[in-house]
Chains A and B, each alone.
Chain A
């Protein structure tokens, strides 16, 4: 326990430097990434000592997740987006009354802290969690209600992570839908054309049959025969004029090719999400890489030749769909880093003696300077234009690898390229069950 027990609201006051209402959204977003603001859910907006509102990290994230969000709203003053009715607590308020009031008025999921004021003037920020903790000291009896509030705080954090997942899922769905609808487009069109062709050729066939019958019929007159001959000649000529006979075979080749493509995608999609398998799995990472390459093909194929140099790998114990997600993120970044057409090299091997597997993904794209490299794992850090970058890919990847007790490293030279080096242990230790991802997976399996 802390040596000095906190007992009053003033003990909770954090001296957060307030921001002016005219500050631009993009600058506020940068502030949130700064170390000093790491633990803050929101920033106070203050003018002449008067609190005007708060802007939460969550609100900024929602703005930037929208299409064109950064472009349209980035330069706007923050006052247009802030919550103008924030929670406010007087510095001299009674702790119990204040926390009851905060509990009553806080919006779930909790995305904002409260403002501490003294006679209407801004004094600092207080965290809802600290207030609730403080309350816990004060009134042990209310323990149950507090536990509930705490649980909802945890839920709100899970909510944030979920929206990040949705953002990258959305991008993937766009790619896959396009990849499937393109072959579906020509397959459907070809089948419709083939149907038209069949009806044209069949009328020529009928005319020819009539002619043959007529020729074999002893009673047929010359006029009858020449009539049928005319029709049959016209109909068959029309068919050969149309070019159908030459076209029909490549048409079917294309159709079969399209169906091949679609089924390959579907198989890989299933491997990719591993919905039909337990979440924690023994996986050959070479196969995972192949799945990720197929899923990302739409993006990669125009940008790079992919060279795979796979070693013989033992199976790795991991949450397969998450590891696939990591590979896809890194491969997508590699393709996006290449301006015209380049090369992506994927290498795997077993590290001797350590019982670890190593995956190296290298591109010869633009590379990055040290300032960029230092920030790539920060959430929302992106150098890409709107629509291409969310800045979430690598921060999520980092989390996933860390939860698997692996490591992720980057070597990059501007103008030459970038290499990501991933290491994963083949076995998860017993204590890994405590890590949220694997534990959750194990739980849902039971």
Chain B
């Protein structure tokens, strides 16, 4: 592959596009659009590897552009570059945009270069992998773990998915214990558990087990928190509490499909790789528990 990878930048401020074009044109072929409509037209005409879009634009928002990109160019990685983190845009970017990273303005050029380089790598790895045969899907009912204290959620999911092994737990420890025995495809979890906030545990889990698809159910919290859940835990869906049944079941449906896809094409796993997290010493106790779980899991799969 000798052609330069292609980036598409979308922003209604032309000065933003000018600086980005200057910064990236040496290494990449760079396309730019000042509106969602223009971006969509470009996506239809050119193969694009990474789409980087602003959120707040007059006619079409960034989330809408990225959602369209998901359909027109499903292989392209999606990044939202935004001036102000609004809850609506963050949740939309997770649930509708299925984005790779959420980057805030003003960005650091070095970091943006790294993020984009990583995204491009992933696209190419996945593309090469496509030419290799698909791993036959082992017949196996993928499990769902529900980590939540309200039994209603568990009952609802169990009724909706009789064909899957649906398990539940009240605490993180209990969940890890059971997950070691039946590794689930999808984890449905609240962020607030009796032992506190488990965001850190989620990040660790996802870093080690990228094929685990995580659906978070939460009473909304601060925006910074959700951004970290995208960048460092690649959560698949975030649903506000109280949970709408329809939304939950629909999300679960696509989470299971997504897990199957990840298992069929392991190269796709990299699309959901997470940012390296600086180790947080104050949570070392959660880290230990998660590590313990991962060790048990390894012991189970590879008798060494």
User: Which residues on A are within 8 Å of B, measured CB to CB?
Assistant: 66-68, 72-73, 76, 80, 174, 177-190, 192-193, 242, 247, 250-251, 254, 257-258, 298, 302-303, 387
CB–CB B83/A189 < 8 A: no
- B109 in contact with A182 (CB, 8 Å): no
Task: Evaluate whether A182 and B22 lie within 8 angstroms (CB atoms) in the complex, with A68-B240, A189-B107, A302-B58 already known.
Answer: no
| Among B15, B16, B18, B83: residue with most chain A CB under 10 A | B15
**A302 vs B16: C-alpha distance in the bound complex, in angstroms?**
17
- Once A67-B88, A193-B23 are accepted as A-B contacts, the answer to whether A188 and B107 lie under 8 Å apart by CB is yes
Residues 65-86 (chain B) with a chain A CB within 8 angstroms: 81, 83-84, 86
Chain A: CB-nearest residue to B219: A66
A sample of 24 inter-chain contacts (CB < 8 A) reads: A66-B220, A68-B240, A72-B244, A178-B83, A181-B83, A182-B16, A184-B105, A184-B106, A185-B16, A185-B81, A185-B83, A185-B107, A186-B13, A189-B107, A192-B110, A193-B19, A193-B109, A242-B26, A247-B22, A251-B22, A254-B15, A254-B18, A257-B15, A298-B56
CA of A395 to CA of B200, assembled, Å: 44
**Cα(A242)–Cα(B86), bound, Å:** 38
A67-B87, A254-B15 known; A189-B106 Cβ under 8 A = yes
Contacts of A298 in B (CB 8 A): 56
Closest to A341 in B: B58
A-B interface, 6 closest residue pairs, ranked by CB to CB distance from nearest? A302-B58, A185-B105, A181-B83, A178-B83, A192-B109, A188-B106
A180: which B residues are within 8 A, CB to CB?
A: 83
Q: Which one, A182, A189, A303, contacts B20 given CB within 8 A?
A: A189
Q: In the complex, are the beta carbons of A250 and B18 less than 8 A apart?
A: yes
**Contacts A177-B83, A254-B18, A302-B58 given: A189-B109 contact, CB under 8 Å?**
yes
Give Cα distance in the complex from A181 to B106, angstroms.
6
B242 interfacial contact with A, CB 8 Å: yes
CB <8 Å contact, B19 and A254 = yes
* Among A80, A178, A247, A387: residue with most chain B CB under 10 A: A178
Q: Which residue of A has the minimal Cβ distance to B105?
A: A185
B92-115 interface mask toward A, CB cutoff 8 Å, 1 = contact, 0 = none? 000000000000111111100000
Q: In the complex, which of the residues B12, B19, B91, B240 contacts A186, with contact meaning CB atoms closer than 8 Å?
A: B19
Residue of A nearest to B87 (CB): A67
* Chain A residues with CB under 8 A of B22: 193, 247, 251
| Chain B residues positioned under 8 Å from A174 (CB to CB) | 84, 86
Residue of A nearest to B112 (CB): A189
B: residues with CB less than 8 A from A are 12-13, 15-16, 18-20, 22-23, 26, 56, 58, 81, 83-84, 86-88, 91, 104-110, 220, 240, 242, 244
Taken together as a complex, chains A and B put the C-alpha atoms of A258 and B16 apart, in Å, by: 10
Told that A186-B13, A186-B19, A189-B19 touch, could you supply 17 new A-B pairs with CB distance under 8 A?
A68-B240, A174-B84, A174-B86, A177-B84, A178-B56, A180-B83, A181-B104, A185-B106, A186-B18, A189-B16, A189-B20, A190-B19, A193-B22, A193-B23, A242-B26, A247-B22, A257-B15
CB-nearest residue of chain B to A250: B18
Contacts of B109 in A (CB 8 A): 188-189, 192-193
Whose C-beta in chain A lies nearest to the C-beta of B18? A254
Which among B16, B19, B104 has the highest number of chain A CB atoms within 10 Å? B19
How distant is the Cα of A250 from the Cα of B109 in the complex, in angstroms?
A: 19
Contacts of B104 in A (CB 8 A): 181
In the complex, the chain B residue whose C-beta lies closest to that of A187 is: B106
Q: Are A67 and B15 in contact, with the CB atoms below 8 A?
A: no
Interface pair A72/B240, CB less than 8 Å apart: yes
Q: Chain B's nearest CB lies how many Å from the CB of A365?
A: 15
Given the contacts A72-B244, A193-B23, A186 and B16 also touching, CB distance less than 8 Å? yes
B residues within 8 A CB of A247? 22
Q: Would you give the shortest CB distance from B153 to chain A, in whole angstroms?
A: 15
Selected from B23, B84, B88, the residue in CB contact (under 8 A) with A189 is: B23
Of A179, A185, A190, A302, the most chain B CB neighbours within 10 A belong to A185
Q: How many Å lie between the Cα of A80 and that of B81 in the bound state? A: 38
A177 to B84, CA, bound (A): 6
Least distance between B81 CB and chain A CB atoms (Å): 8
Measured CA separation A385–B241 after assembly (Å): 20
Instruction: Assess whether A387 is in contact with B16, with CB atoms less than 8 Å apart.
Output: no
The reply to whether A80 and B23 form a contact with Cβ atoms under 8 Å apart is no
A23 to chain B, nearest CB (A): 17
State how many angstroms separate the Cβ of B303 from the closest Cβ of chain A.
Answer: 48
Of B104, B105, B107, which is in contact with the most chain A CB atoms at under 10 Å from its CB?
B105
Complexed CA–CA distance, A186 and B22 (Å): 11
Asked if A387 meets B84 with Cβ closer than 8 Å, knowing A185-B16, A187-B106, the reply is no
B58 partner residues in chain A, CB cutoff 8 A: 302-303
Minimum CB–CB distance for B24 against chain A, Å: 10
CB <8 Å contact, B19 and A68: no
Residues of A within 8 A of B88 (CB): 67-68, 387
- A190 CA to B106 CA, complexed, in Å: 11
Asked if A182 contacts B83 (CB within 8 A), the reply is yes
* Chain B neighbourhood of A251, CB < 8 A: 18-19, 22
Q: Are A178 and B107 in contact (CB under 8 A)?
A: no
For the complex, give the distance between the alpha carbons of A113 and B262 in Å: 56
Bound CA–CA A181/B108 (angstroms): 13
